[in-house]
Amino acid sequence: MKQEALEKIILETIDIPSLPPVAMKVLQLISNDSSSLDELEDILEKDQSFSARLLRIANSPYYGKNRSVDSIGKAIILIGFNTMKSLVVAASLRDMHRKFGIFEQKLWEHGLAVSIAASQIATDTKMLKPDEALVCGLVHDMGKIVLNTSLSDTYSMVIERIYAEQGLSFIDIENEMLGFNHCNVGGLIARKWKLPKNLEAVIEFHHTDKPPIFDDPSYEASCQLIRIADAICLHIGIGFKREIDLYTLGLEYIGYNEKQVQDLIERVKKAYVEQKTSLME
């Protein structure tokens, strides 16, 4: 189906949510050259839990080594404008859930695991900056959050089938039951929200073996890294679990042999336990 026709169907089916207000305001401010850090800090002071979450991600060991970011102003200077935008989106995901039950918890655990795996692979291969890999991992399944909140009755049937028919992927069940999937929805929303282009690419193409050719070649690396990290985390079973033959994944893309994959799996499990509490709140 043509992209336009597909987007039309999605728009007719779901209400496109807006980003949480604090995230919207922050994105607007950092996009506007004339706004000051004071203004930004004013907004964030009003939402302590959001700003605490933002700083927690910025200080994650997978975000950058030995970095101590204790203020948003410092974060922008250290991290840079584009990555800061991605970070704001990652920090606001939790507020997009209407409720936070078992499925939402699993989705969050899966996103965290994928972000850890992706930043480990990024560190090993130098294909991407670990900080970029981390935010890409956190937001890659944003389309699922939107479907789960905007189309909750139908999506709860998708979720039931995921639990009941192990081995099937979200994409397969979504396509069958909705006619589109979380990547289509996520890509559309990333464009509506004018998210950074690398995030848009990952959100839309993280389940595609051969993503399209992008203007910036690093976007393909982001998509492939998240695709592989996603499969490895499903194999481990953090959040969601699905039987996956890791050796049909195209691991040559990241240049790992069998032993390196096993080593990565162990590192991800360990890092996940260490990171879970600090990034969960």
Give the interface with Fe ion as residue ranges (CB under 5 A).
141, 230
Q: Are 216 and 198 in contact (CB under 8 A)?
A: yes
Alpha-carbon span 88 to 37, nearest angstrom:
15
What's the closest the beta carbon of residue 256 comes to Fe ion, in angstroms?
19
59/154 with CB nearer Fe ion: 154
CB of 278 to Fe ion, least distance (A): 21
Q: What's the CA angle centered on 39, arms 38 and 45, to 5 degrees?
A: 85
Residue closer to Fe ion by CB (options 26, 202) is 202
State the nearest-atom distance from the C-beta of 124 to Fe ion, in Å: 20
Burial class (CB in 10 A: 0-12, 13-18, 19+), 71: middle
Nearer to Fe ion, 76 or 90 (CB): 90
Q: Helix axis angle, 197-205 relative to 81-96, nearest 10°?
A: 50
DSSP state string for 119-147: HHHHHHH-SS-HHHHHHHHHHTTHHHHHH
* Nearer to Fe ion among residue 170 and residue 193 (C-beta): 170
Contact 43, 25 (CB under 8 A): yes
54 vs 107, beta carbon nearer Fe ion: 107
Closest contact distance (angstroms) between CB of 120 and Fe ion is 16
The least distance separating Fe ion from the CB of residue 115, rounded to whole angstroms, comes to: 10
